[in-house]
Amino acid sequence: MNTIEKGNFSVAKVIVKFLEKRYIVAQPVGEGYHYDLVVDIKGTLYRVQVKTGSFKNGCVCSDSRINCNRKSRNHKSRKRKNYTTEIDYFAIYCPKLDKVYLVPVDEHGYLRVDAPKRNTCKNINWAKDYEI
């Protein structure tokens, strides 16, 4: 799959997951928005950016490293724009695990699936806590 197909597939998987939870999902018309979806959860609207995640070293991380860098680059102006004022959540679909994770925009770091090799389990974002 090319990157556009991969992104479209991830958006579709995220939409299905939200619909399974009985949430209302809307998509903006056109392109160029920082959010891919608007999700109505119990009457509150949330702007959601969908990312495709990979599973490496026991962690889920976005292919664009969005969990570590919450900024986007405008390809025309080359300026970086902060996501924290543009979206509320990242929805990360991990094809290898076939799971979707909903991460608040102000959170950071990788989502850990497997326990680390060293016995340091504090300050870990456990993937199970973000799974939809």
Q: In the structure encoding, which two tokens stand for residue 129, read together?
A: 């806590």
Interval 94-125: pLDDT, tens: 999 999 999 999 886 789 898 877 766 667 88
Q: In the structure encoding, which two tokens stand for residue 119, read together?
A: 């016995």
Residue 20 has pLDDT above 70, yes or no: yes
Print the domain residue range for 8.
Answer: 3-129
| pTM of the predicted protein model | 0.81
- For residues 17 and 132, is the Cβ–Cβ distance under 8 A? yes
Residue 65 has pLDDT above 50, yes or no: no
The beta strand positions in the chain, using DSSP E, are: 24-26, 37-41, 44-56, 59-62, 71-73, 80-82, 89-94, 99-104, 111-112
Cα 118 from Cα 22, distance rounded (Å) = 40
Helix, coil or strand: residue 117: coil
Cα 94 from Cα 116, distance rounded (Å) = 19
Which residue, chain included where needed, has tokens 């850990």?
Answer: 112
Q: Return the CATH number at 51.
A: 3.40.1350.10
Q: How many domains does the chain have?
A: 1
Position 85 confidence tier, pLDDT thresholds 50, 70, 90:
confident
- Do you know the residue count of the chain? 132
What count of other Cβ atoms lies within 10 Å of the Cβ of residue 39?
22
